[in-house]
């Protein structure tokens, strides 16, 4: 047992977070994201039954965001013409603001198919049970 480690972070996920270096990226994916096909060259970690906000909050307690890029946090942009609402993004912005002084300025958006291409180069992808749409978030690791 370790002290002060959020219980939601599995030993496998802790190991991956520790292995990641500066500029490596991790995707916390919603339940609809094609984790296995996008993650053929990445470590895919199952976090079924957990939502993205809870994992994001736990990860950011340990994970520094990259200060050398404008947007170390990226969201999958809503497709033009899609009427989906993304209230979960406001939750993300509040969580990130707790850990990074840039707050919502740390966020960028990546077009859906470009996000998939970026996800294919991520160090790891976390497969969650998140039901919100467009709830995928990509984090770029900084320096401690």
Residue 12 is assigned to a structural domain of this protein: no
pLDDT at 1 over 80: no
Q: Is 66 in the active site?
A: yes
* The two three-digit tokens of residue 111, written as one number: 């077009």
Residue 82 designated active-site: no
112 in a structural domain: yes
Catalytic residue among 57, 66, 92, 100: 66
Query: What pLDDT sits at residue 2?
Result: 83
| Domain that includes residue 125, residue range | 22-140
pLDDT, tens digit, for every residue of 46-96? Answer: 999 999 999 999 999 999 999 999 999 999 999 999 999 999 999 999 999
Which whole-number Å values give the CA distances from 136 to 9, 37, 92, in the listed order? 18, 15, 10
Q: Which two tokens stand for residue 53?
A: 């906000």
pLDDT in tens, 82-136: 999 999 999 999 999 999 999 999 999 999 999 999 999 999 999 999 999 999 9
For the entire predicted model, the pTM comes to: 0.96
27 vs 74: CA distance, rounded Å? 9
Question: To 10 degrees, what angle do helices 52-60 and 88-99 make?
Answer: 10
CATH of the domain at 123: 3.40.1650.10
Asked if 50 is an active-site residue, the reply is no
In-domain check, residue 33: yes
């Amino acid at each position: 047992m370790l002290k002060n480690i959020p219980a939601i972070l599995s030993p496998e996920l802790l190991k991956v977070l520790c292995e990641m270096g500066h500029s490596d990226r991790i995707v916390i994916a919603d339940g609809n994201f094609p984790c296995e096909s996008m993650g053929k060259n990445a470590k895919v970690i199952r976090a079924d039954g957990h939502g993205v906000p809870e994992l994001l909050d736990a990860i950011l307690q340990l994970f520094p965001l990259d200060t050398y890029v404008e947007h170390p946090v990226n969201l999958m942009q809503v497709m033009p013409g899609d009427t989906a609402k993304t209230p979960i993004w406001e939750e993300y912005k509040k969580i990130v603001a707790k850990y990074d002084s840039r707050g919502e300025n740390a966020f960028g958006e990546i077009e859906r198919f470009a996000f998939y291409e970026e996800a294919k180069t991520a160090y790891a992808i976390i497969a969650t049970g998140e039901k919100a749409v467009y709830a995928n978030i990509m984090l770029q690791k900084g320096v401690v």
